[in-house]
């Protein structure tokens, strides 16, 4: 009986985990590229939905995510802006919009959009992390990036920049100029 219950629970949690993996971690989560998705068909379906129902905020967001994942920056920007016109206080969508502005060569607009995301949700870690990246890599503001990431650490001292690098490690890396050492030789 115990083994049957344990097996049932294990199967339930494995299935729930798989479902979350397949659908994304949360409704407003940043998009991630997924193998096996027919992006063209998904875009066509969502385009038809927003044409029928232009006030469907979730459809605009999902359409923006499809464009985000397929590198269609201008279309993603348009879809995210339409979603934000309907629901302006969505920090996740603002962050995704900021990333698209960066990828389309508009770093100052990216910064402004990340700032809007943080104004909506002062604890929004992804917006703060991405703001620092744009400050450093696109605007050449090393100190501004470090200050932005330090503010992130005040919110979450364990914040991660990637799967294998914490934000505090990244700050040390740039503060100590490790990225410049090879260029000085």
Q: Do 110 and 127 belong to one domain?
A: yes
156-182 pLDDT, tens digit per residue, is 999 999 999 999 999 999 999 877 765
pLDDT at 29 (0 to 100): 45
Query: How many domains are contained in the chain?
Result: 2
Would 183 be classed as within a structural domain? no
Is residue 181 one of the residues assigned to a domain? no
Indicate the pTM of the whole model. Answer: 0.78
- Give the range of the structural domain holding residue 5, as residue numbers without chain letter: 1-30
Cα separation, 29 vs 25, in Å, equals 6
Give yes or no: residues 72 and 91 share one domain: yes
Domain shared by 111 and 132, yes or no: yes
Lowest mean pLDDT among 17-31, 43-57, 74-88, 166-180: 17-31
Predicted pLDDT at 22: 33
Mean pLDDT in the chain?
84
pLDDT of residue 179: 75
Using only the alpha carbons of the chain, give its radius of gyration: 20
What pLDDT does 124 receive?
97
What are the tens digits of pLDDT across the range 8-30? Answer: 334 433 343 333 333 333 334 44
| Residue 122 DSSP one-character state | T
State whether 24 and 45 are in the same domain.
no
74: number of Cβ within 10 Å = 10
pLDDT value, residue 37:
84
24 within domain boundaries: yes
Task: Say yes or no: 26 and 88 in one domain.
Answer: no
Q: 168 and 86 in one domain?
A: yes
Q: Are residues 20 and 58 in the same domain?
A: no
Same domain, 12 and 75: no
Here the CATH number for the domain that contains residue 44 is: 1.25.40.10
Alpha carbon distance 113, 97 (integer Å): 7
What's the token pair of residue 63?
């359409």
Compute the average pLDDT of residues 78-91.
98
If you average pLDDT over residues 122-138, what whole number do you get?
97
């Amino acid at each position: 009986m115990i083994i049957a219950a344990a097996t049932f629970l294990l199967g339930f949690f494995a299935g729930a985990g798989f479902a979350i993996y397949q659908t994304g971690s949360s409704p407003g989560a940043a998009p991630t590229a997924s193998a096996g998705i027919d992006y063209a068909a998904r875009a066509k379906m969502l385009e038809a939905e927003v044409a029928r129902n232009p006030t469907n905020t979730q459809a605009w967001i999902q359409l923006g995510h499809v464009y985000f994942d397929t590198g269609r920056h201008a279309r993603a920007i348009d879809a995210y802006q339409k979603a934000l016109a309907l629901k302006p206080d969505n920090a996740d969508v603002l962050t995704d919009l900021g990333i698209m502005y960066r990828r389309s060569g508009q770093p100052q607009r990216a910064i402004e959009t990340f700032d809007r995301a943080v104004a909506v949700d002062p604890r929004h870690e992804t917006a703060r992390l991405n703001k620092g990246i744009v400050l450093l890599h696109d605007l050449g503001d090393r100190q501004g990036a470090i200050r932005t990431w330090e503010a992130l650490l005040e919110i979450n001292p364990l914040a991660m920049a990637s799967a294998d690098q914490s934000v505090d490690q990244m700050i040390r890396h740039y503060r100590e100029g490790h990225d410049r050492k090879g260029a000085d030789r």
